[in-house]
Every structure is written in structure tokens, then in C-alpha cells.
Amino acid sequence: MDGTDQDPSGAAATIDPERWVDEHGDALYRFALIRLRDPERAEDIVQETFAAALHARAHFAGRSTERTWLIGILKRKIIDQYRKRWREVPATELAAGAEEDLAVQSMFDERGHWLQQYGPNSWSNPSSAIQEEDFFRTLHGCMGALPGRLADAFTLREIDSIPSDEVCQILGITPTNLWAMLHRARVRLRMCMEKNWFGREGSKP
Amino acid sequence: MTNCRQSSELSSQSLDRKLSLRQWLALKLHTAACPFCKRFGEHIAMLKNFCEKFGECGHEKQITNGLTPEARKRMKESLRGTAGK
């Protein structure tokens, strides 16, 4: 790198953004891909993260590892993107809420009891699932099959364990609204995982 | 009486907020008698746990190897441009 050795603190001399790409690029990309579910958007946000880190490198105090510092920047960028996207929700997407609700309602009969084919079955070996190869690939696939709005709310709440009130603030929605969306997401995700993973070994009751 | 639709909603909400005593009781009573709803509650709690694990570093290797060589190249080029400024 040229130019960086003129930094009097000497800090920049040890920071080489191209090395960042080699050392942290994959980890940051995976982190972003889980949360944004779109390879192109994930790549873009990682690039933005590196650029922001480059501008802010003087603030990197070495209190945390370089990886943690970069992930911190990426996390904030992802949340900002959620915030922005949810402020620009087109009207057609708002109408989608009613449809999502209908999909869940149709799993129950008129008295509100589970229809036989939608009733939860017992799961085979749930405790060893996470050690199995492909488990998270299946989970990620099922999350990708959720309507985007539901996946967003679910990701903030369950993947990043952000408290409900903060999720409401990020997405600009009411708690009642959030609870309803999370419920719809869970119903669908549960079904998908039962179908594609936990029901595999003939565990029907 | 609480039906399965309401009970499953309460199950879900219990992961996001504290239920009132009345709601909590209604949920307990219903799930004690309904295997479907009991399983529903157990499953969504497990999913929460799986997702937390998924969010921690390491497991994501299953979904992608990482950046493509082209993406890596693009990023380096762009950073070189930024760093020069």
C-alpha cells in the first residue's frame, strides 16, 4: 500500500484493506447473507462495510479484534438497511399482511382447531439436529421461503435476539403488529422444517 | 375456552412478551389437553434456539463458502480506489 506509511500514528500502516478482504471477506459475507438472504445485496453491504471501515480506521482502538470491529460496522449497516426498507414499504406490500394472515387462518377449522393435516407432528431427533450437516442450510432455505416482511421481522428477533421493543422501533411498527408477524413467521417456518427436516424419518404419531 | 388458533398465538407471544396471568393460565390449560398445541409450543421454542445458534459464527459455512473470486477482486479494486483518496 502506498501513502499509508505517512500516517504519524503508524496505525494505518498496519491496516491493509486488501488483507481485510482476504481475511474477513468470507465471514462478513456469510453474516450478511443470513440476514439479507440475497447474494447481491450481501456483497454490496460487505463492500460498503470495508469502505466505511477504511474511513473510520483511526477509531479502531484495538480494544476488540479486527473481525469483531468489522462485524460491528456490518451489523449497524444491516439494521440501517432494514430501517430504510421498511420506511419505503409500497402499498402493495402492506396489503400482503392480510394474505399472510389468511394462510395461517386456513390451517384451522371454523372452531379454531388445527386441521388434521396441519397439526404439529412429533419431531425426530431435534436435539442432535444442529450437529448434522445441512441442517442450517435447510433452516436458511425455509427462512428464504417466508414472505420477505415476515423473514425480516423474524431475523431481527430470532437470529439477532433483538428485544421486541427495539425491533418495533427499527421496523416502525406497533408491538401488536410485530407479534402477529412473528407468529405467522413461526407457523410457516415450523411447517417447513417439519416437512423438510424433522419429519424425514417417518416420525408421524 | 381457548381454541388452538388462540393458544398457538399465545404460545408465540410468550416468546416475545410476558403474558398476563390469565393468558398464561389459558395457555397452560389448553396445552395440557391438546398434543398439537403442546408440540407447537415446543417446536417454536426449539426454532428460536436453532436460530440463535445460526446467528453465532461458524454454522453459516453450510449456506455458502463465501465470496466468489470475482466479488473479492471487485472489492479490492474498489478499496484501492478509496484508499488512495
Place of cell 481485510: A20
Please give the mean pLDDT across all residues of chain A.
85
Q: In terms of residue numbers, what domain contains B59?
A: 4-63
For residue B40, tell me if it sits in a domain: yes
Q: Does A27 touch chain B (CB under 8 A)?
A: yes
> What is the band of A27 on the pLDDT scale with cuts at 50, 70, 90?
very high
Q: Does position A204 have pLDDT exceeding 50, yes or no?
A: no
For residue B35, tell me if it sits in a domain: yes
A69-79 exposure pattern, b = at least 16 Cβ within 10 A, e = fewer: bbbebbeebbb
For residue B70, tell me if it sits in a domain: no
- What is the number of domains present in chain B? 1
Query: Does the beta-carbon distance from A31 to B63 stay under 8 Å?
Result: no
Nearest-angstrom CA–CA distance, B23 and B2: 9
**Of B15, B68, B4, which Cα lies nearest the Cα of B46?**
B15
CATH numbers and ranges of domains, chain A: 4-86 (1.10.1740.10), 90-198 (1.10.10.10)
- Residues 12-51 of chain B with CB under 8 A from chain A are 12-13, 15-17, 35-37, 39-40, 43-44, 46-48, 50-51
Least confident of A35-49, A147-161, B64-78: B64-78
Q: Which three cell numbers stand for residue A36?
A: 439479507
Percentage of chain A modeled with pLDDT above 90? 61
> What is the band of A196 on the pLDDT scale with cuts at 50, 70, 90?
very high
Answer whether A182's CB lies under 8 Å from B12's CB: yes
For residue B71, tell me if it sits in a domain: no
**Of B7, B38, B82, which Cα lies nearest the Cα of A48?**
B82
Over range A86-103, report the average pLDDT.
74
Over range B33-49, report the average pLDDT.
97
B13-48 exposure pattern, b = at least 16 Cβ within 10 A, e = fewer: bbbbeebeeebeebbeebbeebebbbbbbbbbebbb
Q: Does position B61 have pLDDT exceeding 80, yes or no?
A: no
A25, A33, A159: residue with CB nearest B51? A159
In Å, how far are A8, B53, B80, B85 from A3, measured between CA atoms? 12, 42, 11, 9
3-class SS at A62?
coil
Half-sphere exposure of A80 (CA within 13 A, CB side): 9
Query: Does the beta-carbon distance from B54 to A43 stay under 8 Å?
Result: no
Residues of chain B with Cβ-Cβ distance to A15 below 8 Å are none
Query: Does the beta-carbon distance from B37 to A114 stay under 8 Å?
Result: yes
For residue B81, tell me if it sits in a domain: no
Over range A77-97, report the average pLDDT.
80
